[in-house]
Chain A
Amino acid sequence: DVKVTQSSRYLVKRTGEKVFLECVQDMDHENMFWYRQDPGLGLRLIYFSYDVKMKEKGDIPEGYSVSREKKERFSLILESASTNQTSMYLCASSLSQASNQPQHFGDGTRLSIL
């Protein structure tokens, strides 16, 4: 089974802090993704990566950056956290670029910015 592990289930930070969300997958997947999920807005893609040190902007990259130094790890960084970044953050991975490869999700991190 695919295992996507996010470092924290719940996180509380303060406005202006630099926040790191970590995600690790153990199936040698090429692609990794970061989403946020908000009531009424659904799942929105923040960033994704299809290879080590490669990154692509998703639909809502503003206020975020990412890092992928190793294939199994994809980090989401909130450079200066703001209250409108309070959300559920979901990491996902998929095997390859093949169109029939599904994405598998981690358990999510519920982040609150005070």
Chain B
Amino acid sequence: QKEVEQNSGPLSVPEGAIASLNCTYSDRGSQSFFWYRQYSGKSPELIMSIYSNGDKEDGRFTAQLNKASQYVSLLIRDSQPSDSATYLCARRANAGNMLTFGGGTRLMVKP
């Protein structure tokens, strides 16, 4: 089992809809979680971080963390074609500074 798993997609949603991206992890010692967006040919760009159970909202983005069920998700409201990208989920373990990344989910928002 991979440490961080994401459905590779593509996940296709119509413009204006809510896109829901999911990530599961295997290490219960994971403390912090990060969502990155990566456009084709570009480097990952941090969108959000979350480390407490529950929801965290930032503009059109909401990150959700459930440590008991070992999943973290990212919701994108009012999806725009410019949101089309690969979204990477990453987690940091209890100790150390290394991140473990999932393989990413490719999101396509169709006009």
Contact = CB atoms under 8 A, between A and B. Distances in A.
A74 interface: no
Contact of B44 (A48, A58, A90): A90
B51 A107 contact: no
Please classify the interface of chain A as helix (H, G, I), strand (E, B), loop, or mixed, using the class held by over half of its residues: loop
Interface stretch (A13-21, A78-86, A94-102): A94-102
B98 A100 contact: no
B95 to A, nearest CB: 9
B97 A102 contact: no
A104 B34 CA distance: 11
Nearest to A2: B46
A48 B32 CA distance: 19
Contacts of A100: 32, 49, 51
Interface centre among B43, B101, B103 (most CB of A within 10 A): B43
Contacts of A41: 103
B97 A90 contact: no
A31 B44 CA distance: 17
A97 to B, nearest CB: 5
B97 A42 contact: no
A49 to B, nearest CB: 10
A99 B31 contact: yes
B45 interface: yes
A103 B32 contact: no
B67 interface: no
Interface in A87-114: 90, 94, 97, 99-108
Contacts of B94: 99
Interface of A: 31, 33, 40-43, 45, 48, 50, 58, 90, 94, 97, 99-108
What are the 9 A-B residue pairs with the smallest beta carbon separation, nearest first?
A: A105-B43, A43-B101, A42-B103, A99-B32, A108-B43, A99-B31, A102-B46, A105-B44, A31-B97
